[in-house]
Chain A
Amino acid sequence: MTAASPPVQASRAGGPAVAPASHHVGFGHLMLAEWTKIRSVRSTIWTLLLFVVITVGLTVLLTWLTAANWHGPRAAPRDATIVGDPIGFILGAGVGLGQLTICVLGALLFTTEYSSGVIRASLLAVPKRIPMLAAKAVVFALLLVVLAEIVSFGSFFVGSAIIHSHVPVSLSDPNVTRAVVGAGLYLTVLGLFALAVGTLIRHTAGAITTVIGIVLVLPILSGLLPGNWGAHINAYLPEQAGSLIYAAHKSSDQLLSAWQGFGVFCLWTAVLLVAGGYLLRHRDA
């Protein structure tokens, strides 16, 4: 024990009296508590920082490499693709990898409650359980939407400036503003998607593996499915549907529009959150 000796006087046991529990404790109190939880652990701060650095950094790196190599040997088909959807290229460059940090953070947000044992303290404080999950999801979504929009607009301005001499792209171009705003929304919903998986699986490694498997591996596997039904399955996968929102132009064989795709992604997330909430309520903590 390095701490100072505690007061043994019995008279101090209860401490000063606490105000009577007359006032109502609302959802705002729970949100404040969840915000305290998020900001008071270094790993979340570091992961968010990593998200910003990776996303903006990769946007700069990839657009710069592309601009430097414009009209280069064997670059013609790539250049043509970029001219067809410059905003999709700029945003995809950073979001492609940056989204993995959001997957990890979302999964960790709930699984660390279990691995550290905080879940017991949390559930003793909010024994109805669902309000705690709801507060966590809302606070996390608010945090992400602010940060992801800043990162998305930042990536766009930096990336479009670098590539401007080859492909000029501005927010006034058709669908560009929707795509830039959409990238931030996609990352926000992705965070909630990962949070929901974490609520369902509870183990950090399992949850992260599952989310990354769904986001990165599943589209590749379903892309190998043959025929029309294979294409349909692929189109309705969470990441495939959700990522349509940050590409400006429809490819000719696209089954869903950008907003339809985003809606499908939101639906996936909502279903998983409800399932996670159900299990949280009924499982032993």
Chain B
Amino acid sequence: MIEARDLTKRYGDKLAVDHLSFRVEASRVTGFLGPNGAGKSTTMRLVLGLDRPQSGMATINGQRYADLSQPLRTVGALLEARAMHSGRSAYNHLLFLAQTQGLPRSRVDDVLELVGLREVARKRTGGYSLGMGQRVGIAVAMLGDPQVLLLDEPVNGLDPEGILWIRNLMKHLASEGRTVFVSSHLMNEMAVTADHLIVIGRGRLIADCSTQEFIARSSERSVLVRSPDVDRLAGLITAEGGQATAEARSDEDRADGQAAGLIVTGLEAPRIGEIAAADRIVLHELSPQRASLEEAYMELTADSSEYGVHSPGAIPGPAETAVVAEPTVSTTQESAR
């Protein structure tokens, strides 16, 4: 279990983490979300004792990181920034870390096997791809078979196979009763991995709840209805207590002969179908719209984004924003499907 109490970290006059408190429980994957510059990496560095907070403290299984006698046997960490000498082989990097903890050499081979780098482990890491570097980082995190894992943006630079692998690995580790704390700025990645979410923006806690609750709480459900007779339908929906707004339609849609649509809130899809049937209105489409996690996340962090684009009109939509922000990962995820 990881616990942060009132953590505050200031770099110069910039407040990176602002009185942040949270708990990361064992046996589940906890996603740590926030836009770029929200303070995720700083928080992890504070938990790991690399940086010192101005106030507050962080503990792992009740102890400060610096007080752990063989820290890598308790906590495994993958940091966002590269932490390897380009002239040293992955094997020797893992070997010296194993030696600091009194771990046998065979453990180095085990974790290299685990991340699939056994063949290239004797080569210098300077020649490794971003994805291979991430795998070495995972191997380092797993070296001491730790109960607690902190992974900062672990899918960065991984190919689709690697992303799938790390997702399964994290879920499996959590199922074994370990604490898995994983940061990401990609909501969709967290939607498929995390059981629980801790969302921060500008160093402050925005949300601390289950992934399901997060989506439900921050998104309003709506129903899309298409009908050749939308005007009459809109009137009936309003009379039933729902709100109907006309769907924005492009000229292309109109040229295709697609019926006009309504975005309905306040009424469930079955009720709308019943209303239409009662008045013999033809429906071409009746589909519940569920806001994606990405949209919920964008909405929630809109005010706290450090480097965000502040006019929503300037960009096509939330999904596209994510693609712009992280082209590699998003495109590889697309091709994975």
Q: Which residues of A contact B (CB under 8 A)?
A: 1-8, 10-19, 21, 23, 25, 29-30, 32-34, 36-37, 40-43, 112, 116-128, 132, 282, 284-285
Q: Within 8 Å CB of B81, what residues of A?
A: 117, 120
A124 and B175 CA atoms in complex are apart in Å by: 25
Q: Within 8 Å CB of B164, what residues of A?
A: 8
B203: CB under 8 A from chain A? no
A239 and B130 CA atoms in complex are apart in Å by: 45
Please state if A117 and B83 are interface contacts (CB–CB under 8 Å). Answer: yes
- Out of B85, B115, B117, name the residue touching A116 (CB < 8 Å): B85
In the complex with contacts A120-B81, A121-B83, A10-B102 CB distance below 8 A: no
Contacts A3-B120, A33-B99, A282-B52 supplied; 12 other A-B pairs, CB < 8 Å:
A3-B132, A5-B161, A6-B162, A6-B165, A10-B172, A12-B114, A15-B145, A25-B101, A36-B96, A123-B50, A284-B51, A285-B51
B48: CB under 8 A from chain A? yes
- Considering only residues 90-113 of chain B, those with a C-beta below 8 Å from chain A are 92-93, 95-97, 99-104, 107, 110-111, 113
Chain A nearest CB from B220 CB (Å) reads: 37
Please state if B100 and A18 are interface contacts (CB–CB under 8 Å). Answer: no
Q: Within 8 Å CB of A120, what residues of B?
A: 50, 79, 81, 83
B19: CB under 8 A from chain A? no
Q: Within 8 Å CB of A16, what residues of B?
A: 110
Chain B nearest CB from A277 CB (Å) reads: 15
Q: Within 8 Å CB of A5, what residues of B?
A: 116, 161
B289: CB under 8 A from chain A? no
Please state if A118 and B83 are interface contacts (CB–CB under 8 Å). Answer: yes
- Out of A121, A122, A127, name the residue touching B66 (CB < 8 Å): A127
Please state if B120 and A15 are interface contacts (CB–CB under 8 Å). Answer: no
Please state if B115 and A124 are interface contacts (CB–CB under 8 Å). Answer: no
Q: Within 8 Å CB of B95, what residues of A?
A: 36, 40
Binds A, one of B26-34, B69-77, B279-287: B69-77
Please state if A285 and B117 are interface contacts (CB–CB under 8 Å). Answer: no
Q: List 10 A-B contacts (CB under 8 A).
A: A3-B120, A4-B118, A4-B119, A7-B114, A11-B172, A13-B168, A16-B110, A33-B100, A123-B49, A284-B51
- Out of B50, B75, B175, name the residue touching A285 (CB < 8 Å): B50
B23: CB under 8 A from chain A? no
Chain B nearest CB from A280 CB (Å) reads: 12
Chain A nearest CB from B107 CB (Å) reads: 6
Nearest CB in chain B to that of A116: its residue: B85
A158 and B271 CA atoms in complex are apart in Å by: 101
A13 and B169 CA atoms in complex are apart in Å by: 6
Most chain A CB inside 10 Å of its own CB: which residue of B87, B99, B111, B120: B99
Please state if B85 and A3 are interface contacts (CB–CB under 8 Å). Answer: no
A36 and B90 CA atoms in complex are apart in Å by: 12
Number of interface residues of B (CB under 8 A): 68
Please state if A8 and B165 are interface contacts (CB–CB under 8 Å). Answer: yes
Please state if B50 and A29 are interface contacts (CB–CB under 8 Å). Answer: no
A70 and B4 CA atoms in complex are apart in Å by: 76
- Out of A18, A36, A125, name the residue touching B145 (CB < 8 Å): A18
In the complex with contacts A14-B173, A41-B85, A125-B71 CB distance below 8 A: yes
Please state if A15 and B50 are interface contacts (CB–CB under 8 Å). Answer: no
Please state if A29 and B101 are interface contacts (CB–CB under 8 Å). Answer: yes
A2 and B127 CA atoms in complex are apart in Å by: 11
- Out of B86, B142, B162, name the residue touching A14 (CB < 8 Å): B142
Most chain A CB inside 10 Å of its own CB: which residue of B50, B79, B132, B161: B50
A132 and B96 CA atoms in complex are apart in Å by: 12
Q: Within 8 Å CB of A8, what residues of B?
A: 161, 164-165, 168
- Out of B72, B86, B92, B132, name the residue touching A36 (CB < 8 Å): B92
A31 and B104 CA atoms in complex are apart in Å by: 15
Chain B nearest CB from A281 CB (Å) reads: 10
A5 and B131 CA atoms in complex are apart in Å by: 12
Please state if B92 and A40 are interface contacts (CB–CB under 8 Å). Answer: yes
Please state if B66 and A128 are interface contacts (CB–CB under 8 Å). Answer: yes
Please state if A33 and B145 are interface contacts (CB–CB under 8 Å). Answer: no
Please state if B97 and A33 are interface contacts (CB–CB under 8 Å). Answer: yes
Q: Within 8 Å CB of B96, what residues of A?
A: 33-34, 36-37, 40
Q: Within 8 Å CB of A124, what residues of B?
A: 48, 50, 71-72, 75, 77
Q: Within 8 Å CB of A13, what residues of B?
A: 114, 142, 168-169, 172-173, 176
- Out of B70, B129, B144, name the residue touching A1 (CB < 8 Å): B129
Nearest CB in chain A to that of B70: its residue: A21
- Out of B48, B83, B110, B117, name the residue touching A3 (CB < 8 Å): B117
- Out of A1, A15, A21, A40, name the residue touching B88 (CB < 8 Å): A40
B221: CB under 8 A from chain A? no
Nearest CB in chain B to that of A13: its residue: B172
Chain A nearest CB from B95 CB (Å) reads: 5
Nearest CB in chain B to that of A113: its residue: B85
B301: CB under 8 A from chain A? no
Q: Within 8 Å CB of A2, what residues of B?
A: 120, 129, 132
Please state if A121 and B70 are interface contacts (CB–CB under 8 Å). Answer: no
Nearest CB in chain B to that of A11: its residue: B172
Chain A nearest CB from B135 CB (Å) reads: 7
- Out of A19, A30, A285, name the residue touching B100 (CB < 8 Å): A30
Please state if B101 and A125 are interface contacts (CB–CB under 8 Å). Answer: yes
B57: CB under 8 A from chain A? no
B15: CB under 8 A from chain A? no
Please state if A21 and B69 are interface contacts (CB–CB under 8 Å). Answer: yes
Please state if A43 and B87 are interface contacts (CB–CB under 8 Å). Answer: yes
Q: Within 8 Å CB of B93, what residues of A?
A: 118, 121
Nearest CB in chain A to that of B162: its residue: A1
